[in-house]
Structure 1
């Protein structure tokens, strides 16, 4: 029986993926095997020795101390793509709302309440909110993952010319793209052609301020920029300078900050990207499934700190070892198994930066001391026998 602790309210649809005969959800447990979390900050959360995995019901893992988890052999999962449709729909809505100045128009219309001349004032005032149609305009999409690809395809359906930039595009993402999306090799190829620009890349040290003074200088005059990925991807100071100069006509983002609020031409939504019932369910179901498969079978899918490793179970025992990715680790593991006269039926090993994961299905008599022997290997970080 595995004990699961939740640090946020998790959709019942997700918890239902944890069978009661194998899992107990106990939020008072001081020694959980797994944790399900959404937005709770875990950087000051104690990590008990019992903890094997954390599953984040969402894409970002900034609220989890990933490096600490890696050092302690705790697998951290996220749910890429589970909220993709929710975010993509919001971006499409922002494209329309931004182009037609709907936010300013709605706010202005509210000021007419109580007047006797509303109809007359509407006809006179609406000219200040005139905005262009999307059809025939050019949208640049930076990042063509699950969300970016959906946005690109929706824009094609709206009659836009769509340019895409993603040097790391996956095969699956490439197959999902409309053939009408034009691939750009560099940002400098794409930016000068865009009437609208939207960014959909993960936040990493290498992607911080992807939209900055230099990239904005390449853009058309009056470009409209959207950021529903991460606030840190855009240099706010550079963006505001470009807005003041007229280089940027409007900035729609999902990440309010002090310097952006109250600025004409900036529209901030309160991090609504994944705020749909459907997205919450999708993320919870995916996170619970990842956690269950790892705890029961040792399989890893969508981990941010360990390599993805999966293989079908066969008869016998399964040995799962998280270890340093260094020479001699595999020979040390197989040497102990040979000494114990265990036959390796299946074996898979993958590395990810400084850490690796080895999973072996073995037949023979697995003694009570085997796990301790394997933990004695210098490179070993976490050993499990299933």
Structure 2
């Protein structure tokens, strides 16, 4: 039996995916956390915790280093809310181009017999522009960015994409008409609209700041529906005051940007659709079950992707530091115990490595001794023995 602890409101569609081998929110030591926005950074992670899955793309609420030291794999659910964010970004592009909120506010505050005449006379103050023919810079062309690029292309916009970490898989999803910029500066220099879709980390925090605003042409509209902190809000206010940009639209409120007519803030609505919540919960539940039952890894934040068909009776998984001779020590330990390895795979992600060892012959006493020996190897963070019940 696996024990799963949930935080926040997790869509029932996802919870229903768990089989009878899983119980939810009991007093038992948890094998897995299924979370959304709860902040785990100041929490102690139990030794039993093997996996944390964030139902959503962001993971800045998870203490990655602490989880790794605990031998806990961390996953997110990329793409689960991508369409929801894309639709909101497209809506904001149209709102910015056509001055829709200002126009609607004007109309709502006017009444009387002459409203039609006044409206016809005064509506020109809300004249907008069409998106067709305008240039959109998409910073980060992963799951969300690629969808935004497609939608903008369909609207007749010229799309310039910039992503220094673009993977081969992501590249397949970008429209062929997208112009690939070689630098952030090149992407934003001639853009009428700039939209940001990168994860928040040490490299992207403050990615759009004073230097970048100075490179944008006057009248540019900036959109940030990725994560708060990627745009330096103080620099954004200064750029607005100087006329370096015309408008700033974001999903992340901050005192620095409140009460300005040239800033539009939505209350973190990007992934807030029923479909996105269902998608994230289903993907998260599936990720937990796959990892706990097979040890296979995809979309992990702190572990390398490693997916091996599970065809043997048993599987050992070892999470360890990415240092020389770890694989050799693991193999030697098994050989000394007289255990034949049917298959062994290893991959690394920065300072963390992960090994999968498939075996057939193993008795209970030997298993306990083997696990103890493997855990005693310096730099091993977690060892698991999985039985194939298929």
Superposed, 1:196-235 pairs within 5 Å as 196-235=193-232
Q: CA 1:28 to 1:116, structure 2 compared with 1: closer, same or farther past 3 Å? A: farther
The Cα shift of 1:102 comes to: 1.1
TM-score, normalised to structure 1's length? 0.96
Cα distance in 2 for partners of 1:67, 1:124 equals 61
Q: Is 1:59–2:57 an aligned residue pair?
A: yes
* Match of residue 176 from structure 2: 179
Cα RMSD over matched residues? 1.4
The Cα shift of 1:116 comes to: 4.1
| Aligned counterpart for 1:76 among listed residues 61, 67, 74 | 74
Cα distance in 2 for partners of 1:101, 1:115 equals 23
Superposed, 1:1-386 pairs within 5 Å as 1-20=1-20, 22-25=21-24, 27-112=25-110, 115-366=112-363, 367=366, 368-386=368-386
The Cα shift of 1:73 comes to: 0.2
Secondary structure of 2:308 counterpart: coil
Cα distance in 2 for partners of 1:49, 1:189 equals 48
* Contact map agreement 1:30 1:48 (CA 8 A) in 2: no
Secondary structure of 1:231 counterpart: coil
* Contact map agreement 1:7 1:36 (CA 8 A) in 2: yes
Cα distance in 1 for partners of 2:115, 2:295 equals 66
The Cα shift of 1:117 comes to: 3.3
The Cα shift of 1:29 comes to: 2.3
Secondary structure of 1:176 counterpart: coil
Q: CA 1:188 to 1:48, structure 2 compared with 1: closer, same or farther past 3 Å? A: closer
Cα distance in 1 for partners of 2:175, 2:218 equals 28
Cα distance in 2 for partners of 1:256, 1:105 equals 23
Could you report, residue by residue, the CA deviation over 1:100-139 in whole angstroms, capped at 9, with x for unpaired residues?
A: 1112222222222x54433233223322211111011111
Cα distance in 2 for partners of 1:44, 1:178 equals 42
Larger deviation: 319-328 or 78-87?
Answer: 319-328
The Cα shift of 1:30 comes to: 4.8
Secondary structure of 1:233 counterpart: coil
* Contact map agreement 2:135 2:192 (CA 8 A) in 1: yes
Any gaps of 5 or more consecutive residues in structure 2? none
TM-score, normalised to structure 2's length? 0.95
* Contact map agreement 2:60 2:200 (CA 8 A) in 1: no
Cα distance in 2 for partners of 1:316, 1:327 equals 29
* Contact map agreement 1:142 1:198 (CA 8 A) in 2: yes
Could you report, residue by residue, the CA deviation over 1:279-315 in whole angstroms, capped at 9, with x for unpaired residues?
A: 0011111111111011111111111111111101112
The Cα shift of 1:67 comes to: 1.1
Any gaps of 5 or more consecutive residues in structure 1? none
* Contact map agreement 1:8 1:38 (CA 8 A) in 2: yes
* Contact map agreement 1:341 1:364 (CA 8 A) in 2: no
Cα distance in 1 for partners of 2:148, 2:347 equals 33
Runs of 4+ in 1 over 3 A off after TM superposition: 114-117
The Cα shift of 1:165 comes to: 1.1
Cα distance in 2 for partners of 1:363, 1:355 equals 27
The Cα shift of 1:187 comes to: 2.2
Cα distance in 2 for partners of 1:334, 1:255 equals 49
Secondary structure of 1:139 counterpart: strand
Cα distance in 1 for partners of 2:349, 2:174 equals 28
Could you report, residue by residue, the CA deviation over 1:27-86 in whole angstroms, capped at 9, with x for unpaired residues?
A: 242511111001111223332221111110011111111111100101111001111111
* Contact map agreement 2:206 2:229 (CA 8 A) in 1: yes
The Cα shift of 1:179 comes to: 1.4
Aligned length: 383
Secondary structure of 2:342 counterpart: strand
* Contact map agreement 1:4 1:32 (CA 8 A) in 2: yes
Secondary structure of 2:257 counterpart: coil
Larger deviation: 65-74 or 358-367?
Answer: 358-367
* Contact map agreement 2:3 2:28 (CA 8 A) in 1: no
* Contact map agreement 2:250 2:266 (CA 8 A) in 1: yes
The Cα shift of 1:322 comes to: 0.9
Secondary structure of 1:343 counterpart: coil
